[in-house]
Amino acid sequence: METELLYDLSPFVRIYKDGRVERFVGTEIIPPSLDEKTGIQSKDVAISSDSTVSVRLYIPKAATDSLQKLPVLVYFHGGGFIIATARSPAYHNYLNALVAEANIIAVSVDYRRAPEHPLPVAYDDSWTTLKWVVSHSTGNGPEEWLNSHANLKKVFLAGDSAGANIVHNMGIRSGDETLQGIEFAGAIMVHPYFWGNEPLPLETTEPERRSGAENLWRAANLTTTGCDDPLINPTMDPRLSGLAFNRILICIAEKDIFKHRGLYYKEALGDTGWRGFMEVMEAPGEDHVFHLYNPNCENAVKMMKKLVSFINEDK
């Protein structure tokens, strides 16, 4: 007898009632390396004693031969909290390019994924990672690359899709629990995965498309109250005005189902009295996370330049 499906999120993943998970994308991994094209060195580091949480670190090879301190980008990958990892080829290649262009250090977070580890595990693992980064603020943390080369007075958080959702939620948590020893210089949210029970003006009302976004969330967060949960709908969070970022770049794509949520996020945050600076960049004619699939297209190149200028604005 065939096991009954709990969620059919094809063509990405199927989740069965007996706990089995069939991932169809995001399963390939690539080892860390010295990338000859960019000169970026990478390595994997376990940051918890039980090795449940790890990061992939990226640093320009030239930086390891000098005493130069570089800004730090903590990156959270996308995939609906369910697919892809920090070791996925698309993320590895993209971060090699971004680190080279911006001349920074990157900490790519390999948080545990749902549904095997339902939310809030990914948020908790991400917070654990930020505290691990903080542990290097006095120069005697466990990782020499960060001790010697990281400028923790200039830390950026960035992510795409579910990773952008994590960026927001780390900003909310940082507003509640200050992280001593690092300073956030900005946050980058690329095609953020936000949603809500009621459609926004101009947002799709097609039941099938809306249920796809909702089921992805319910599959990742088994105890959620639904899509007005503040974790997925930031406008429902009374703590929104306390977001711990003063500069935010939001990237949206014209054809992305989540586009209007990114725009509404800017509007809603402004309405709370938040006093930071926020900029929105839209990629015409593009869909969700297009830059990972086609990093050399004109819009992806423009977006990369924007990210680099945002990071280096007051370097």
C-alpha 103/C-alpha 75 separation (Å) is 15
Q: What is the mean pLDDT of the chain?
A: 96
Q: Does the reported pTM lie above 0.95?
A: yes
How many distinct structural domains can be found in the chain?
1
CATH of the domain at 243: 3.40.50.1820
Residues noted as catalytic: 161, 256, 288
Picking from 174, 166, 153, the residue whose alpha carbon sits closest to that of residue 193 is 166
Q: Return the amino acid letter for 7.
A: Y
pLDDT digits (tens, 9 = 90+) for 114-165: 999 999 999 999 999 999 999 999 999 999 999 999 999 999 999 999 999 9
Whole-number Cα distances in Å, 4 to 15, 83, 214, 218 = 9, 21, 20, 17
pLDDT 10s digits, 204-258: 999 999 999 999 999 999 999 999 999 999 999 999 999 999 999 999 999 999 9
Q: Which amino acid would we find at residue 113?
A: R
pLDDT at 21: 95
Q: Is 40 left (phi over 0), alpha (psi -120 to 50) or beta?
A: beta
Residues making up the chain, counted from first to last: 315
Q: Scan for tokens 């996370």, then name that residue.
A: 289
Could you list the residue range(s) of the whole structural domain that residue 173 is in? 5-312
